[in-house]
Amino acid sequence: METVILSSDSGKGLDQILKLAKKLGISVKKLSRDEIEEIGLSIAIKKGRTGEYTDTEVFPIKK
């Protein structure tokens, strides 16, 4: 399985691409803003994970 994400300022152009995809038998799903943000956050978390602990002397925890 492969996935493509398309973004457009033109709703009409994107609708035409979606119609063509459906005619070709390609599964189509429009993403909401919330879903897009969740994907972006997930990517940022994965990139930020180092597997190392943060030195609390460098970044003190305020109580």
Q: How many other β-carbons are positioned within 10 Å of the β-carbon of residue 17?
A: 13
Indicate whether 29 belongs to any domain. yes
Mean pLDDT highest for which of 4-13, 16-25, 44-53? 16-25
Q: How many domains does the chain have?
A: 1
Indicate whether 60 belongs to any domain. no
Q: How many other β-carbons are positioned within 10 Å of the β-carbon of residue 37?
A: 11
> Which pLDDT does position 21 carry in this prediction?
93
Indicate whether 56 belongs to any domain. no
- What is the extent of the structural domain holding 30? 11-48
**Is the confidence at residue 63, as pLDDT, over 70?**
no
Indicate whether 62 belongs to any domain. no
Q: How many other β-carbons are positioned within 10 Å of the β-carbon of residue 21?
A: 14
Indicate whether 2 belongs to any domain. no
**Is the confidence at residue 25, as pLDDT, over 90?**
yes
Q: Pick 21 or 63 by higher pLDDT.
A: 21
User: With bands split at pLDDT 50, 70 and 90, how would you rate the model's confidence at 55?
Assistant: confident
User: With bands split at pLDDT 50, 70 and 90, how would you rate the model's confidence at 39?
Assistant: very high
